[in-house]
A = this chain, B = another copy of it.
Amino acid sequence: MKYIEKLRNSGLRPTKQRLKICEVLFDTKKTFHFTINDLSKKIKNKMNTKVSLATIYNTINAFEKKGYLKQIPINSNQTYFDTNVTDHHHFYDLKDEKLIDLENTDVGPINIKKKINGKKIKSVEVLVKLEG
């Protein structure tokens, strides 16, 4: 199983459930955005497996902490995650409530001039809201 090492390396035991989650998240050519609810449905439909919500939350939170997933900063009732963990930005279509990736080449370099004493920049994320 190709994800066992990945899980072990980040201190997670490779359980059946976590391997299923890995398949859904990482066995795709394209990266994608999802909510916990999306993911739960996908596991049920595509994998014909039932994994409890609690396990999905635990695992996704662990992955996020380890850097295997990114949270997308957006005000919504649900939390959005991204399997694309490289530096990139997003459009948010307000009408359709849909997220669209902005490739790095779609956004010019962002120059943060202000510094805060003793703090390091961890990430710079741009959210472009679309209307109409």
Contact = CB atoms under 8 A, between A and B. Distances in A.
This protein's copies in its complex: 2
A27 B126 CA distance: 31
Interface residues of A, number: 38
B105 A93 contact: no
A127 B130 contact: no
Interface of A: 71-75, 79, 91, 93-94, 100, 102-103, 105-114, 116, 118-132
15 contacts: A73-B75, A94-B122, A100-B116, A102-B112, A102-B114, A106-B112, A107-B114, A108-B111, A110-B110, A112-B128, A121-B129, A122-B131, A123-B129, A125-B128, A126-B126
